[in-house]
Structure 1
């Protein structure tokens, strides 16, 4: 009996440690640089995912591939094969093809200084909060080859491909002097809109949330099924633990 309870205690301690480690990830990510905004969780909203898929094909798939995902997988989002063929496929692509780009890696490196990463699992690697903040943090910078820079990813080689939707902005800084050390720093204050886009700020943030939701879904299309199964597994283990506890008590009830 004591042995069984001690095992459960050790398992609980390990689980608590893992939970604490996971909870600490967003905080440490924010401490390293620009503060990240919380991304809306639209991964269960089919309309949002469909809009995100459209944005991905129209704006991201020109340079970034998603070689682990096929166009046919979009049927899981309620998009029919006919709709995929009419609205989301390029001329030579077929529904069964993976989401690849025609641009050669060598050309991409020449034009942008680096080969654009495959976005199949980028949401799992970076996190949805990072992507949501990154896509909303571009600003004009004449010192960069593309004319754009980013607060989350300084000196990034990627231009703001969504600039027509968001408009053009500049970054506003101010000089700050530390009262104790006397050290001066150049601190970011805010973005300043210099040219409006086709979307308002609220609409643009909503569109980015849809795009990030799609990228998150694309990185693991079965995540909601996995979570649902996880709940049933935990319930089963809870019931099994109860019966194992009572069985253990029955076996050892006559032992003194």
Structure 2
């Protein structure tokens, strides 16, 4: 049992090195979609933060998603009452290590960790595909397996939303055997929102950085024109 629990805790990080030959669906979301990011934050807090923290992000950062401080406190803060606290979980790291034999990995920068291993967008694409690729497998300790990460130790935490998929071993395709609370399209959108939040969480200031970079490049372009004109004016009598 102890080995199984450890596998469950470390599955997301181990999975980062797996599934390299599996086709990844393109994540259709955007970090500019604030309502989607808000929904992703709700899903993350309700499903992911049962075991995994996001200790590089503070609750006050969620205000950048268009939420008010009161909305964050009422709907997204279950382990703290201070808006400036980190997004940790109730259990302490030393307690978790004692209970499970290891501390659950933090999910703050999991998208960037995966993205650095492949092409731009790989982290988001991998997570988007992974969270939609679970299927029932009675041979596994948790009863679940995954097409992207074969013999995964992590259970399908979103199964109530998606329903139960099975793998057709003849076509090697996933088929929905028991519908969940959401339709397939709705579930795909929910996963997209969740992944979007993790993309945003990995670098909350990325949109500001990109905007600032655009203005810096524009300024340098104008400066180049002015400098070139000055150079021509300065050297015109010599040439």
TM-score tier after normalising by the smaller chain length? 0.7 to 0.9
The 3 A distance-change label for structure 1 pair 87 and 221 is same
Q: CA deviation at 1:144?
A: 2.0
| Alignment match, 1:159 | 155
Structure 1, residues 214-235: CA drift from partner, whole Å, max 9, x if none? 1111111111111111111111
Quick one: distance in 2 between partners of 1:200 and 1:64?
A: 27
| Alignment match, 1:50 | 38
Quick one: distance in 2 between partners of 1:151 and 1:114?
A: 26
Q: 1:208 aligns with which of 191, 200, 204?
A: 191
Q: 2:82 aligns with which of 67, 81, 94?
A: 94
Q: CA deviation at 1:121?
A: 1.2
| Alignment match, 1:19 | none
TM-score of the aligned structures, taking structure 2 as reference length: 0.80
Q: CA deviation at 1:189?
A: 2.2
Q: CA deviation at 1:35?
A: 0.6
| Alignment match, 1:13 | none
Which protein has the larger Cα radius of gyration, Structure 1 or Structure 2?
1
Quick one: distance in 1 between partners of 2:146 and 2:104?
A: 16
| Residue pair 2:79, 2:88 contacting (<8 A) in 1 also | no
CA RMSD of aligned residues (A): 2.6
| Residue pair 2:112, 2:202 contacting (<8 A) in 1 also | yes
| Residue pair 1:140, 1:170 contacting (<8 A) in 2 also | yes
| Alignment match, 2:167 | 171
Deviates more, 1:206-215 or 1:144-153: 144-153
Q: Secondary structure at the match of 1:142?
A: coil
| Residue pair 1:65, 1:99 contacting (<8 A) in 2 also | yes
> Number of matched residues?
215
Q: Which runs of 5+ in 2 are unaligned?
A: 1-16, 115-122
Quick one: distance in 1 between partners of 2:187 and 2:97?
A: 29
Q: Which runs of 5+ in 1 are unaligned?
A: 1-28, 175-187
